Amino acid sequence: MADEKPSGMVMKPLTSYVGRYDNSIGLFSIDVAIEGEGRRMWCQGHQNVDYHLYHYDGDNFAWEADRDHDMKMTIFPKWYESFHIIKFLANEEGNIDSLSWGHNAMVPQVEVFKKNMAFPTVTDCQQPLSSPL
């Protein structure tokens, strides 16, 4: 997937993507932080359920399918492309305020997660965000 970047669009500064994102009913959260030159994403606040993201295109990030990594997280490996691409979405002012993710192959549409402004914006962290301000 890394060789198939569609348009070559430039990404925003890394800090634009950092934060906690919640699904529409508030039962599923995704934390995004900067890790070195890249980004790291955690699901549901679990330190062991994480993905190391690389820039894919524009405001889209991806991670490689890694069976061994998924098995260590006790997650059945998922090979479909939409699972491995996070699309950050900007509001009218150009600020990232949500992301979309096709995390369920049984559901045809992607799920949108809104940025939760009650959580701190940490630019560099080694674990998921744990509590609101």
**Can you give the CATH number for the domain in which 35 is found?**
2.40.128.50
Name the burial class of residue 121, with classes exposed (0-12), middle (13-18) and buried (19+) by CB atoms within 10 angstroms of its CB.
Answer: middle
pLDDT of 124 reads 46
Which contiguous run of DSSP H or E holds residue 31? strand 29-35
Q: What integer pLDDT is reported at residue 35 of this predicted model? A: 78
Per-residue pLDDT tens digits for 23-36: 999 888 888 888 77
pTM for this model (two decimals): 0.73
Segments forming the whole domain that contains residue 35: 14-115
How many domains are there within the chain?
1
Question: Does residue 132 sit within a domain?
Answer: no
Distance CA 92, CA 20 (A): 20
Structural domain contains residue 96: yes
pLDDT given for residue 100 in this prediction: 93
In which residue ranges of the chain is pLDDT below 70?
Answer: 1-8, 37-38, 46, 48-49, 65-83, 105, 120-133
